[in-house]
Chain A
Amino acid sequence: MKRFLLIWIMLFGAFFVSACGDSRVHSQAVYMLVDTSGSYAREMNKATKIINYLLATLNPGDSLAVAKVETRSFTEKDIVAKVTFDKRPSQATQQKRAFKTKIEEFSKVIKGSAYTDIIGGLIQGAEYLNETKAGIKTIVIFSDMQEELGKGTVRDFPIKLDGIRIVALNVTKLGTDNADPRIYLDRLARWEARVRKAGATEWVVVNDLENNMESILNTR
């Protein structure tokens, strides 16, 4: 009888030990860049909606970070909030609530920046995502994709975005784009070429935020 019980206990133990597989391969990590430059800072309401959508969709074990695009964005200081959700759903829910509160606080005190350093944000995002070792890595850029670099900011060098999806959200048309749509199309084409050259696995543009939200994340 004792031997019988021992066998059962050993089986239980073996099962639970073997069950702990590598979860990182199956997890997602999302780094969201929010453009706060000039008139685009007024779009923060939409950005909050996107973040809420991400919070509702991401699962326990996934990672999320939100950073602002500033004059020079290659710095941890620009990360507004970041979290790797706990494996337990109840804890993950608590973390999501806390994240939401942080974003709400950020949206109240937002200040527009003079320049827009998207590339710096991309490099910072890639660094963060690679550290998470997640299976699916996505950088979401909430911007009009009009990069303006300040004096002394160097970004014209090859960057590395290997294995990262890039999603451009709410790419609004500027006044000049309306006059000549080729400027807008060329801008998007240039960005696509640059990120693909950098090793990005996918380039997605989502402008219809009401109906096309599911394109932001890659479904498992």
Chain B
Amino acid sequence: MIERHPWLFWPDSVALSILVLGILVMLFLYAARKPMHGVIHSVCNLVTQSTRYISRWLFLSSENLRLRNQAVLLAHSQESAASMIDREFERVGNTIRKDMQEFPVLQRKLMEEVTRIEEDYRRCGEVPPPPPEWVGALESVSQLKSGGDIPRKLLEDINKSIQKIHDKTVAEYRRSYEERHKILKGMQPVWRSVDKLMVEMDQKMLTLHSNAKQIDDDMTKFAGMRAKDSKTEHALTVSAFVQLAISSLVMVIAMGGAFINYKLIALPMSEMVGASDYITNNLRTSDVAALVIILMEASMGLFLLESLRITQLFPKIASMDDRMRRRLMLASLIFLVILAGIESSLALMRDMLIADKASLMRDLASAAPAVSEGWITNIPMAGQMIMGFVLPFALAFVAIPLESVVHSLRTVIGVLLVQTMRGTGFVLRFTGVVFRRFAKVIELIYDILIVIPLMVERWVVALRGNSSAKGQAQSMSAS
């Protein structure tokens, strides 16, 4: 089949037709050169201006958003830091109050021990041996000039006395030393007691010292927040990211627990609300009821932790008076226990339903009934019941990571939004710059397409210029 091309002037000579068409197009493009250049410049200018305007708006908005994020982040962090400092001061106050109460007793005990040590010290003072009175007598005897029996006898008597006195003195000296050793031995427990008291005091001082250091650190952070310095802001932002990651991980674990919980009660819930009721095409009422039970457990846990002031997601609960708050706490706990009890019984029912169905299946298959293995077969049932009772309480603690996620998510989303806006602004600015340059490039490409008419134009202009120059030269020479 012959293909017909209506745009061919001479269908038999395609090349000639294309050539003529090309020349016509070239001529048209040459004629439209100026307006086309104008269009190219206008469009590129429009794009450049628009992108510049949008990018400037994005940068301004991102800056506003950053400031807003900073204000929220610092306000929240200041609140947290203030509560932490409060808590530290409370701890220090408690420690000091407790220690100050004990201090007089401790001091009295220490003073008593010191007095005892002093007394023992005095008693331990070394008593010098009595001065040897016989030394003087010996000197007198040695000064006698004449010998004889009298001095010899005298000396012998003195020797005996000295010997006697010496023995007595040595015995006395030994006894005295023995007594002093006994006193020193008795001082040992007193020293130990003093040492123990001193260690005790030292430990208390150490606790106080660490508390004071913690307060110092917190105060430094707090001062940084007050000063709105970028280092603190950066640290807080990073901390928010870390918090979000950790909390999300805990939440995922908790969701795993909730899923197990759901599986545990979904089947027996059909016994309560009917197995064939559907809310939507694929959503069973029993499944939704099980989900609602789990969500209610989580909400009760949330209220319990709120009323215990562990979390602070609801300012209304935090600002309640203590009596009301205690009532709310009690109500939440009772609801939680009831729900846990319901879940436990549902877990038991689940086991019974499964056993009943298995028995029916055996009957339908005409198989022999399963042999009971005594208490071992009851272990899964007991496990399910325990899980059914414990999981709601475990689920209650989801409130803590949830609060963390709520607080840190705002910061993280804010930061991501600011970065996205800045990125988009940069891309738009870059696009604007590219389009500004691109106008020239398109213009040149357009001129390439009509290069032959342009060359002709340049040739004609040059020819005219030459002829006019010649004319001028001739007129100049004539004049």
Contacts and interface: CB of A to CB of B under 8 A. Distances in A.
Query: Are A and B physically bound partners?
Result: yes
Interface of A: 1, 4-5, 15-16, 18-23, 25-27, 52-53, 55-56, 59-62, 87-90, 92-93, 96-97, 100
Contacts of B288: 19
10 contacts: A1-B328, A16-B273, A19-B277, A21-B279, A56-B364, A59-B275, A87-B276, A89-B275, A90-B352, A100-B364
Interface string B248-278: 0000000000000000000100110111111
A96 B360 contact: yes
Contacts of A56: 360-361, 364
Given A15-B289, A53-B364, A59-B275, 15 more contacts: A16-B273, A19-B279, A19-B289, A20-B274, A20-B285, A21-B279, A23-B276, A23-B277, A27-B276, A52-B365, A60-B276, A90-B353, A90-B356, A93-B360, A96-B364
Nearest to A91: B271
Contact of B275 (A5, A52, A53, A61): A61
A117 to B, nearest CB: 30
B34 to A, nearest CB: 71
Contacts of B458: none
> Lowest 4 A-B CB distances belong to which pairs?
A61-B276, A87-B274, A60-B275, A52-B364
B357 interface: yes
Contacts of A5: 331
Interface residues of B, number: 28
B327 interface: yes
A19 B285 contact: yes
A115 B277 CA distance: 42
B324 interface: yes
Nearest to A96: B360
Given A19-B279, A21-B277, A59-B275, A89 B270 contact: yes
Of B271, B292, B364, most buried by chain A (CB within 10 Å of CB) is B364
Nearest to A101: B363
A62 B274 CA distance: 12
Nearest to A15: B292
Contacts of A22: 278
Nearest to B275: A60
Nearest to A27: B276
Nearest to A51: B364
Interface string B389-412: 000000000000000000000000
A89 B277 contact: no
Interface centre among B274, B289, B328 (most CB of A within 10 A): B274
B274 A55 contact: no
Contact of A59 (B267, B276, B324, B353): B276
Contacts of B274: 20, 23, 60-61, 87-88
Q: Looking at chain A's contact residues, is the secondary structure mostly helix, strand, loop, or mixed?
A: helix
A62 B365 contact: no
Contacts of B285: 19-21
Nearest to A85: B276
B271 A88 contact: yes
Most buried by A among B277, B281, B328, B357: B277
Contact of A87 (B275, B331, B357, B361): B275
B135 to A, nearest CB: 103
A1 to B, nearest CB: 6
Contact of A62 (B273, B276, B277, B289): B276
Nearest to B272: A88
B356 A93 contact: yes
Contact of A88 (B275, B327, B360, B364): B275
A12 to B, nearest CB: 9
B278 A26 contact: yes
Interface string B352-395: 11001100110111000000000000000000000000000000
A219 to B, nearest CB: 13
A199 to B, nearest CB: 24
Contacts of B361: 56
A69 to B, nearest CB: 24
A97 B292 contact: no
Contact of B278 (A1, A23, A92, A93): A23
B283 to A, nearest CB: 9
B35 to A, nearest CB: 66
A132 to B, nearest CB: 12
Contacts of A53: 364
Most buried by A among B276, B278, B281: B276
A148 to B, nearest CB: 33
Given A19-B277, A61-B276, A87-B276, A97 B363 contact: yes
A26 B356 CA distance: 24
A89 B353 contact: yes
Nearest to A16: B273
Nearest to B283: A21
Contacts of A61: 274-277
Contacts of B292: 15
A60 B324 contact: no
Given A20-B285, A60-B270, A87 B364 contact: no
A139 B276 CA distance: 21
B143 to A, nearest CB: 116
A1 B271 contact: no
B214 to A, nearest CB: 39
